A and B are shown apart, each in its own frame.
Chain A
Amino acid sequence: EADIYQTPRYLVIGTGKKITLECSQTMGHDKMYWYQQDPGMELHLIHYSYGVNSTEKGDLSSESTVSRIRTEHFPLTLESARPSHTSQYLCASIGFPATEAFFGQGTRLTVV
């Protein structure tokens, strides 16, 4: 059972709101990732981190930010939510030197 948690599981918010999606893992993993995935579609990398104080941008990073102040915590912030942000957001972590990524249950976001 993977010890990686995302909150909230479901969120409905209005356009223009600022939101933060939470992701925490208790496995001590250095690498953490955020992906966006529409139902039945591909996973698109948004942001990733290799450890505390390290963050890198993925393909879909332009409208969001992340921080990595603690190893276990990797929150994703949308500064101004838009209907195009409606999707599922998945957080994952990998421990060195492994290749197995553990995923959270996801946050399903709806922007109205």
Chain B
Amino acid sequence: GESVGLHLPTLSVQEGDNSIINCAYSNSASDYFIWYKQESGKGPQFIIDIRSNMDKRQGQRVTVLLNKTVKHLSLQIAATQPGDSAVYFCAEMNSGNTPLVFGKGTRLSVIA
């Protein structure tokens, strides 16, 4: 696809500030939208998911917002900490036998 070979966009935030990471998804039929965090040298780790019939879901220090009208997903991290520095990927899937597809990631750098 057109994104092959392109490096990930970077978001730099000051420690303690809130971070907002955005993602545009492609399949309006997806049942679930999920955020993953990938630290250097590790596989992605699940953060939070949201069903397609919801528009907001909150976790510990994180909130995911889903706007199906414009196919947009966002992850908000409150009081960003140095340990939040990582690459964040959105992903989408159906409850049936369809694959887990990852979107373009965003590298979050927290400035102490």
Q: Which residues of A contact B (CB under 8 A)?
A: 31, 33, 35, 40-45, 48, 50, 54, 56, 58-59, 90, 92, 94, 97, 99-106
The interface residues of chain A lying within 8 Å CB-to-CB of B102 are 35, 42-43, 45
Q: Closest approach, in angstroms, between the C-beta of B65 and any C-beta of chain A?
A: 17
Q: Is the CB of B95 within 8 A of A97?
A: yes
Q: Which residues of B contact A (CB under 8 A)?
A: 1, 3-8, 32, 34, 36, 42-46, 49, 87, 89, 91, 93, 95, 97, 99-105, 107
Q: Closest approach, in angstroms, between the C-beta of A88 and any C-beta of chain B?
A: 9
The interface residues of chain A lying within 8 Å CB-to-CB of B4 are 42, 44
- CB-CB nearest in chain A for B91: A101
The interface residues of chain B lying within 8 Å CB-to-CB of A45 are 99-102
**Chain B interface main SS type:** loop
The interface residues of chain B lying within 8 Å CB-to-CB of A41 are 5-8
**Chain A interface main SS type:** strand
Q: Which of A33, A45, A99, A105 has the most CB of B within 10 A?
A: A99
Q: Is the CB of A90 within 8 A of B43?
A: yes
Q: Is the CB of A43 within 8 A of B46?
A: no
13 A/B residue pairs, CB under 8 Å, sorted by A: A41-B5, A42-B3, A42-B8, A43-B102, A48-B99, A59-B1, A97-B95, A100-B34, A100-B46, A103-B44, A103-B45, A105-B43, A106-B43
Tell whether A100 pairs with B49 under 8 Å between CB atoms, given A41-B8, A43-B102, A50-B97: yes
